[in-house]
Amino acid sequence: MTSKRSVFLRGMRDGLPVGAGYLAVSFAFGLAARRLGFTTLAASLMSFTNLTSAGQFAGAELIATGTTVIELALTQLVVNARYFLMSCSLSQRLDQQTGFLQRALMGWGISDEIFALSQAYPMPLSPLYTYGLMAICIPCWTLGTLLGASLGAVLSQSMMNALGIALYAMLTAAIVPHSRQDKTIRLIIVVSMSTSGLAAILPMLRDMPGGLRIVLLTVVITSLTAWRFPLKEEQP
């Protein structure tokens, strides 16, 4: 029987590559936040409490322009709405005895990469595995921001843009191994990429906020996939 300690340590081990990537991406955010007028402490606290790259970049720009709290909250709701879907998906993989506080802590620490790794964990998903991922990813995300904000405007804009690509590389690394083993996942990836590209150019969809468009596509594609390729429930 797998011990609780080994499950937590497995999460930390699996989180190391993601944490390394987070250092680069959050470093770029730290640079951007400092250029927008944030102090090193403010930028670091934002990363520690949020763990969302798109939301943080959008939020920092809005705060710098003097937007209202309501506008900021609505923007964050749209940009980060996908995390509702991710949390709901992971909740279906947990043991029914998992308490509310454990679920809430997992929901707070969800990111795209943490979700992908937690989703790949055998059922039932242990909260300790996700906690292990968070124990690596959150400090790395915060540390990267701290380092970036401390350096200020030393690096060029082109270097900052290059560092931002690391986020997409991490997500690709999380899904490619599983796509090699399952043709259904390969099909979903191709369909998702194709529809996302079309949504970016179609008149009605391209004018939507990016976060809302992602949520809409996610709901449609996952619903069709669940209907067309249902999975048998695994027994604990």
Q: What is the pLDDT of residues 24-40, one digit of tens each?
A: 778 878 887 887 778 88
**According to the model, what pLDDT value does residue 163 have?**
59
pLDDT category at 143 given cuts 50, 70, 90 is very high
Q: What is the CA radius of gyration of the chain?
A: 18
pLDDT over 80 (residue 102): yes
**How far is residue 218 from each of residues 11, 45, 75, measured CA to CA in Å?**
26, 30, 18
pLDDT at 118 over 80: yes
CA-nearest of 134, 136, 127, 138 to 103 is 127
HSE-up of residue 138 (Cα within 13 Å, Cβ side): 17
CB 185 within 8 A of CB 175: yes
- Rounded to 10°, the helix 4-35/40-50 angle is 140
Q: What average pLDDT score do residues 212-233 get?
A: 72
Flag whether pLDDT at 164 surpasses 60: no
Q: What is the Cα–Cα distance from 156 to 70, expressed in whole angstroms? A: 33
d(CA 203, CA 198): 10
Rounded to an integer, what is the distance from CA 13 to the centroid of its chain?
18
Q: Give residue 236's pLDDT.
A: 42
Question: What pLDDT was estimated at residue 210?
Answer: 59
